[in-house]
Amino acid sequence: MATASMKVASETYTTEKLASAKQGERQSVIAHGVRHQEKHVASSASSKFIGFKGVSSSSQSSSTKCSSQMGSGMLRLECPHLRMLIEDTGKHLEDLEKLSAGSSKEDVDKALVIYTGMFSKFVDSYRLIPEENIPTCLKTISDVIHKAWAIPSHGHTLGSSLCDVLRNNGGLDILIKSCCSQNKNLLFCSARVLEQCLTTENRSYIAENGLVSVLKAARICSDTRRNVDLTRVGTGILEHLFKHSESTCKQVIRQGGLKSVINDSRYCNDVETLRHCSSALANLSLYGGSENHQAMICENVQNWLFPLAFHDDDNIKYYACLALATLVANKEIEAAVNRSGALNLVEPFLMDHDPAEFSASSVAHIHGHSKDWLERLVPVLNSNRKEAQSLAAFHFVMEAGIKNKQCNTEIFREIGAVESLKRVASSPNAIASRYAAQALKLMDEELPHKLSQQVPLWTVEDVIEWLKQIGFFNYSKEFFDSRVDGDLLLQLNEVMLIDDIGMLNGILRKRFMRELGLLKKMADYSSCDFSDLHRFLMNIGSEMIQYTYPLLNAGVDAKVLKYLTDDQLLRDCGIENSIHRLRLLENVRTNTGVSNLDGNVDKNIDVFISYRRSTGSQLASLLKVHLELRGFRVFIDVERLEAGKFDNNLLQSVRQAKHLILVLTQSSLDRCIGDIDHKDWIHREVVAALSSQCNIIPLTDNFQWPEPEQLPEDMRAVCYFNGVRWIHDYQEACVEKLERFIKGETKIGDGVLGRSVVLGGVVTPGTPTLRGSLNTYQRSQSNESKGSHSSDRDSKENILVNGKEPIVLNDGVYNLHE
């Protein structure tokens, strides 16, 4: 046992048992979800302490409680050291609770002296407490640290000082040893304290002296998903372990830490746990290095970040976007991250949030990040990817505001961020440059010359500034003498560079043309592109955007595209790459992105996912990842989350899809009832699918079907399609069934996880059933349909998992019999 070898110094304490301490209660108010520069506390949604076996005891003042219920029995606080120290803590916790952002330095220093001394006594007395009472002691330590971190402005000083006491007095060694205990309550309580005290110094100590033990405990907690408190603690520890070094990250991944985070992000719906998962992946992206980035790609992290970045919680979204931006800045894995489609979520999030307001919206940001953490963000700011630049600049605005209040803006010069911010502030990346300029203002730095994203409207001076940014300032005289403005810059080719600019070095010309190509992709052509040609080219591929201006200069718009020949694209539009010409003509022929070119539409999308934003976005994002990992081309509209208006181009995407998965969550079709004006998105998407031979597959999750007669007549047929019922804990089985529908392997009437009751020769909405056609399940019994007006929660069934212990399905909830 973790403390079996500890000896008691006083015979008095070992031979006599004292009567229970005088009863008294003091409600402890604990702040939740506290995160600061070096610490993210255990984010309990309630003030209850949950033991490993799931038995809870109130977190009313542990300072005066005589007994606390943990595990399967009642433990009495009969150790004098424990009783006296807890009572002593209770006397002073009120002083701690009175501290606020406006507290004087004297008050903070006084509290610091009291609690550092108290923690020293705690650690010393911890060795003298019988093992059965140790969890109670650990709970008190945890409550004090938790409360200290929660104090605005001063929380870092108090919290880190208490954590230093644990490290310097041997407390960390005791906690590390307890992580190997067979006593599950002791293991969890130790992990709970560790999760709150992993400051920079303590992380280093753990990495050197107990990484394997702590990691094992973290995984035990993380993988216990039926106990939310355990999962929060486990993912919280993993979040911090990924914020140390490349070698530590590598070891954590090797021991299964990354798999645990991914699995929790897939199967857990708890917001605090998902915040830990999102931050863990962001930390791993920043601290992991190239080798660990490759390991992340092998685990498809770039894909599983999509549901996190698609989440309703802003903190989950933000750190998922940060992880994506950091990963895409690594050229070795840029293509893999780009293919995931998750990068499309980064800029909409940034455009919808103000950095100052976002940093103040959650205690997760109140203390900012450490110098080491911020230094690792600078390469992301220096990336050529606009998403990476934009998010890094956004974060530096938040940090500049925080460090400004702390009178510590010099840190940005020390890590080399100021020059990088100046470069980004003067770049044509509209989002990134705006945020970079805001950050520089907060740092009291001089703002550079600002380049507009409207490159066609650039002056000669703008072109000279751009040359300076890309390292070609030596040629500024030649460009100035030739009066090269934005219009001429976009038309330059290698022949002009040789004859007119005198750039004779072939490698320099290649470098220049590469930078010019990046500029063309980033440019805004709205001042001269009145037919949205830029968007059409972007839909083909980002590499096609560079041809926007040559096509516009040749007099081409979206309506003219269908008449162009290969020779015209080469001779008149200057598109020398024959493969690009072929792709352009092929996309015009197949009507991708261009409306009404001919009557036929090629089905070049495997699956279109239709969902209700308010209740179905998370399930829709999960489906996207599952199906893409199985090789399907999936379309899901991410802009509706931010734009708030219907885009008619979505209907074209529906017509191009072979299958439409209709995600039906609670009340998904309520807005369709009485929608005679076709204002509802789902209504319009279903009608478009029905009219274009697109196979509709309903996927239900806690959904109650309305009577078919209640729906508009033009979408009523959706009630008669076979479908799949979603069970969150059995995602793979559900997606396997869905895949069979898509591939046509499931016939009407085969109702595994779906609706299969045939009345009058057609399939009608009925009670979902499970049958033995999936490897995961063996059917023991099933209920027949109760009629067309039914819910996916109407059935109560017994199923066998791999032919073993039964799972009882009661009102849609599975309970494992252990």
Residue 145 to residue 44: CA distance in whole angstroms: 14
Q: Which residues of 478-506 are buried (b: 16+ CB within 10 A; e: fewer)?
A: bbeeeebbbebbbebeeeebeeebebeee
How close are the terminal C-alpha atoms of the chain, in Å? 26
Phi, psi dihedral angles at 75 (to 5 degrees):
-105, 130
DSSP letters spanning 470-530: HT-GGGHHHHHHTT--HHHHTT--HHHIIIII----HHHHHHHHHHHHHHHHH---TTT-S
- Residue whose token pair is 């072939």: 506
For the record, the structure tokens of 746 come out as 């499931």
685 is a catalytic site residue: yes
With helix as H, strand as E and coil as C, how does 664-729 read?
ECCCCCHHHCCCCCCCCHHHHHHHHHHCCCCEEEEEECCCECCCHHHCCHHHHHHHHCCCEECCHH
- For residue 357, count CB atoms less than 10 angstroms from its CB and return exposed for 0-12, middle for 13-18, buried for 19 or more: exposed
Residue 229 to residue 236: CA distance in whole angstroms: 10
Q: What size, in residues, is the chain? A: 818
Residues 6+ apart with CB under 8 A from 465: 426, 449, 451
Joined tokens for residue 654: 């529906």
User: And the tokens for 798?
Assistant: 């017994």
What own/partner pairs with CB < 8 Å and gap ≥ 24 does 312-316 have?
312/617, 312/618, 313/271, 313/274, 313/275, 314/353, 314/358, 314/361, 314/362, 315/275, 315/278, 315/362, 315/364, 316/271, 316/274, 316/275, 316/278
- Looking at 347, 685, 736, 797, which residue is catalytic? 685
Residues designated as active site: 685
